Each structure stands twice: as C-alpha cells, then as structure tokens.
Amino acid sequence: MNANDPPERQDLGKAWNPTESERSDRRRMREVLGINAAGIDVVLRLRHQMIALQARVRQLETELAMWEAGQNTRLLRHRETCFEASWQEMTDSEKRS
C-alpha cells in the first residue's frame, strides 16, 4: 500500500482489482470531471498506451545499458591488446639493437 494510491486501493480489507479500479475511474471522470462516455474511453485508451510505452522505454533503457556495458568491455580488451602489441614492439626493437 502506498499513501499515494487512490482511496479504493488503500482499503486493507480488499485486494486491488483493476476492473473495479477502472469502473471507479470512469465514475469519477463522469461525475467529478464531467467527461462524457466517449471522452472517458479516449482517456483510458491513452492511459493504457502510455503505460505500455513507459514499459517499452524501461526495456530499451535496460537493453541500451547492457549494450553499452558490452561496448565498454570490448573497448577495454582492444586497449589491452594494443598496449600489449606496442609493448611487444618495444621489447622486439630492444632485442635487435
């Protein structure tokens, strides 16, 4: 339970029911905000789309973080390889001298 949850979610005696919550939201939009049925359908559809898009953004952020971590790992390996190669060149040139 979160203090910011709507009152219907704060009732400790009931489990939260998304269908009941949507019914309550529809009633509140109609009675308190004065939105007609078509407007309520649009608001709820847009809310569902926004929730889906937020989930997709979180997924893409996770994928990007994983990709960046992989890129950093490859970059470190490349630098180590280059350093080792330059070190080998230095020791080979000293042996020839």
Decide if 65 is inside a domain: yes
Domain residue limits at 47: 16-96
Are the beta carbons of 29 and 35 closer than 8 angstroms? yes
Decide if 38 is inside a domain: yes
Decide if 58 is inside a domain: yes
Decide if 6 is inside a domain: no
Are the beta carbons of 8 and 24 closer than 8 angstroms? yes
Domain count of the fold of the chain: 1
Decide if 1 is inside a domain: no
> Count of residues for the chain?
97
Rounded CA-CA distance 42/65 in Å is: 34
Tens digit of pLDDT at every position of the chain (97 positions): 445 555 555 555 566 676 888 999 999 999 999 999 999 999 999 999 999 999 999 999 999 998 888 888 877 888 888 877 777 666 676 666 6
Decide if 61 is inside a domain: yes
> Which run of H or of E encompasses 77?
helix 37-96
